[in-house]
A and B are shown apart, each in its own frame.
Chain A
Amino acid sequence: MSEENRQPLVKVQDLHVEFDVRDGIVHAVDGASFTIYRGQTLGIIGESGCGKSITAKAIMKMVPKPGIMRGEITFFEKTSQNDGEATEEVRIDRLHPDSQRIRKIRGGNIGMIFQEPMSSLTPVFSAGFHIIEAAKLHRFVPVNTIGDTMTRNIKDKRGVTDDEAREIAVDMLRRVGLPNPESRVDSFPHQLSGGQRQRVMIAIALSAHPDLLIADEPTTALDVSIEAQILDLMRELQDTADMAIMFITHNLGVIAEIADEIVVMYMGKEVERANTIDLFENPQHPYTKSLLGSIPQIGEKRSELETIEGMVPSPFDLPQGCVFHPRCSEYMPGKCDKVYPEYDEVIEGHWVRCLLYDGCRPDTQEAQVIKESV
């Protein structure tokens, strides 16, 4: 898909999520802005606690208590009208978390699969029950209107019946590659393996034909061979369903395999965004460079694995300036610890937040001084 005619699906602008807890305020997401386009796979990568999952939950308007959300999240919904298709912009951030509108988007337009397939299904309900529950909320079939032109134009739709929902459940289980779907539909979660449960989760999410699938570390809890199967499955289903995927992970190998474009997050901020090949071939931000440098290579003669210096800073006591500067190998004293870098497109399609790049230096007095001294 070329750059120009990409259609935006979800646009996140200056998203902040804060948690006011006993020890202070945690800025879990601190000014994230990115766009997910239709049909694309966007990878979000970062270490634990950098705000990846919270960003995903914010898109679903499911920020857990006592989180407070600021910023804009726009969902571009395709609506079919008499004269073709139109796009309606829905401001997710303004919706009430239990409103009918968001509940139609949640699970209907945006599906989500989770990190813990072992406990993401309600233990007392069968696999089929979960899919039927989703299908009855989000699947609609056209009402037969033979000979009645008036109603045909209105495109009357009705919800699915119990029998139809069950058929959908069996069909979805077959599509996600569960053996014997006709009998597996009545299996309870404890009778399924971790990989099978994640397949059921995918079946639930995809049963509504979503525009976007948010996958929050879907393979972290699975072993490597199952992980490969699940990734293959997701890719395969994406090809047939014209669906965007927001893939959240901390696994560089997985993200390289599945994503078209990658956003790197550090301490609640994006630090770099580029398409996958660019990012791996030509990383710009020192954090990304260090991350890529710390992947062990097979056959490499190196006694020690490269690591990133220091520890993740305490969320209550974030460093001044660039939050990464205490661990950065290219730390510039007097600049990085004072000036907060802006996000800029340094190469076409390649965004970075680092003071090494001219465009990231804010146009303040202080920044001017730095510019002159460089």
Chain B
Amino acid sequence: MLSFLIRRVFYALIMLVVVSFVSFIIISLPPGDYMTQRIRELESMGDKSAETRLEQYRIRYGLEKPFLTQYWLWISNFVQGDFGLSFEYEQPVATLLKQRLPLSVTLAVTTTVFTWAMAIPIGVFSAVKQYSLGDQIFTTLSFIGVGIPSFLMALVVLYIAIVKLDQDVIGLFSRNFQDAPWSLAKVWDLLKHMWVPALIGAITGTSGTIRIMRGNLLDTLGQPFIEAARARGLKNRTVIWRHAVRMAINPLIVILGTETFPAILAGNILVEVVLSLPTMGPLYIRALLTQDMFTAGTVLVLITLMVMIGALVADLALAWVDPRIRLD
């Protein structure tokens, strides 16, 4: 067990180094850098002094140095918790993360809770009452849910909320709470905004999860141990929840680990962009578009970290619920 953990952490470290290096290369692949783009932008607006001003920035951020030196500077500071400066916001990346990460985590947790609270009961119902009217309805709805892109759903919700219901659902806060200090009223305001992206994320997530839950449970219900459990005199409900669902839920644990953890940082980026949420997704997209390389690199490395933490958590959880799995 301990050796398993040590080995996994060791692999994770190697992986992080490789991913950070490769992502750094990819981010700097397009010709020019953030400054070149910025200069072009400013010059088109008629600002003649831009070039010299931004040249100073370039020196300040070390952009004139060779590639490997840049990478080394960034990664060695990264380890110490200094993720570099964001060109675009002219703030340390760490500060940006501090603002946005808690909101992203809250959104991801809300979405996950919504998803599971809906998907598991519906999936179980659909499997137990296979081919019933209810199953058919849920199956149709879940196919629609899988089929509709989430950003489109976000647009539709936006349209209905703003045009038809005259509700302010953009972002996560109303204007008057935007910069206000935290208070109960602000939390309430957050919840009033949060349900929209959480619901959209949950609908997309639920639809897929229902299908997985239903399929797994149908497989499990056909197993001999279900019949044996019933022949022992157990209640149908006990047979389903204690014996069948308990077995059928294993793949969902893997999904919870490997998909939900990285989804904290890059879950439903398009939905977040459409609803212009102050979360990690839009920050990441923006950084990639503008070659804000330290921001983009940091988010990418953190996503990788999340993937690996998620996989590790999934493995440990799976070993905990299923005695057949041994970690060594």
Please list the residues of chain A having a beta carbon within 8 angstroms of any beta carbon in chain B: 60, 62, 97-98, 103-108, 111-112, 114-116, 119-126, 130, 133-134, 137-138, 188, 190, 201, 204, 208
Residues from 226 to 245 in B contacting A, C-beta threshold 8 Å:
227-236, 243
Residues of A within 8 A of B234 (CB): 103, 107, 133, 137
- Chain A residues lying within 8 Å of B233, measured Cβ to Cβ, are 103-108, 134, 137-138, 208
Q: Which residues of B contact A116 (CB under 8 A)?
A: 224
Tell me which residues from 291 to 328 in chain B have a Cβ below 8 Å from any Cβ of chain A.
321-324
Q: Is the CB of B228 within 8 A of A201?
A: yes
| B225 at the A interface (CB under 8 A) | yes
Q: B246 in the interface, Cβ–Cβ < 8 Å?
A: yes
Q: Is the interface of A mostly helix, strand, loop or mixed?
A: loop
Given contacts A103-B233, A107-B233, A112-B231, contact A120 B323 (CB under 8 A): no
- Determine if A124 and B322 form an interchain contact, defined as CB atoms under 8 angstroms apart: yes
Residues of B within 8 A of A112 (CB): 228, 231
What is the distance, in angstroms, from B118's C-beta to the closest C-beta of chain A? 25
Which residues between 146 and 202 of chain B lie within 8 Å of chain A, taking CB atoms? none
Q: A124-B246, A124-B322 are in contact. Are A134 and B232 (CB under 8 A)?
A: yes
Interface of B is mostly: helix
Smallest CB gap from B220: residue in A: A122
Give the complex CA separation of A62 and B227 in angstroms: 8
Q: Which of A106, A107, A122, A125 has its CB near the most chain B CB atoms (within 10 A)?
A: A122
Task: Assess the B231–A62 pair: CB atoms within 8 A.
Answer: yes
**Interfacial chain B residues near A121, Cβ < 8 Å:** 225, 228
Do A122 and B243 contact each other (CB < 8 Å), given the known contacts A114-B224, A114-B227, A188-B324? yes
Q: Does B16 interact with chain A (Cβ within 8 Å)?
A: no
Residue of A nearest to B223 (CB): A119
- Cβ contact within 8 Å between A122 and B230: no
CA of A124 to CA of B224 in the docked complex: distance in angstroms?
A: 14
A106-B230, A134-B233 are known contacts; what are 13 more A-B pairs with Cβ within 8 Å? Answer: A97-B236, A104-B233, A107-B234, A114-B227, A115-B224, A119-B225, A122-B229, A122-B247, A123-B322, A124-B247, A137-B234, A138-B233, A190-B323
Residues from chain B with Cβ under 8 Å of A133 in the complex: 232, 234
B235 touches A188 (CB 8 A): no
A-B contacts, 18 listed (Cβ < 8 Å): A62-B227, A97-B236, A103-B233, A103-B234, A104-B233, A106-B231, A107-B233, A114-B224, A114-B231, A122-B225, A122-B243, A124-B322, A133-B232, A134-B232, A137-B233, A137-B234, A190-B324, A204-B232
B235 contacts across to A, CB distance below 8 A? 98, 103
Cross-chain contact B224 with A123 (CB below 8 angstroms) = no
Residues of B within 8 A of A204 (CB): 228, 232
